[in-house]
Amino acid sequence: MASAPSNRPLSPHLQIYRWQITMLTSILHRVTGVGLGVGTLLIAWWLIAAAAGPEAFDTVQGFMGSWFGRLILFGFTGALFYHLCNGIRHLCWDAGWGFTLPVMTRSGIAVFIAAGGLTLLAWIMGYTMMAGS
């Protein structure tokens, strides 16, 4: 609030806290959310190029297939599955489940394992398809 008195105590800043999985998962949820916004531009570009014709589509495919494009797509996939898995954790909290600290820690670890596994699975699937075609 703009008119709040300025001599009020400040809450502790981030560097004072010991890193915990709860804050890590929360910060990552927001960071990946914003990152997925950028990734969504790639989906839009890919679809619009496919509708525009073969030349525009070749340009997109050329970019996505380059090492830089693949690196971005790998990060995109990882962020997508992290946000998806942690989003399910958020939906569970909304339903009132899993609020105790031990469960939160375990569900946080489970999110990292599931997101990593799903990311690897998607890429193994993609490379298997490419090898077969």
Write out the binding residues for other proteins, residues 104-133 only, by CB under 8 A: 118, 122-123, 125-127, 129-130, 133
Nearest to 74 by CA among 127, 31, 34, 23: 127
CA atoms within 13 A on the CB side of 44: 6
Identity of residue 121: L
Of 16-24, 87-95, 97-105, 109-117: span binding other proteins (CB under 8 A): 87-95
* C-alpha torsion 122→126→127→132, nearest 10: 140
71 binds other proteins (CB under 8 A): no
Per CB under 8 A, residues contacting other proteins are 1, 3, 30, 33-34, 36-37, 40-41, 43-44, 47-48, 50-51, 54, 57, 65, 77, 80-81, 84, 87-88, 90-91, 94, 118, 122-123, 125-127, 129-130, 133
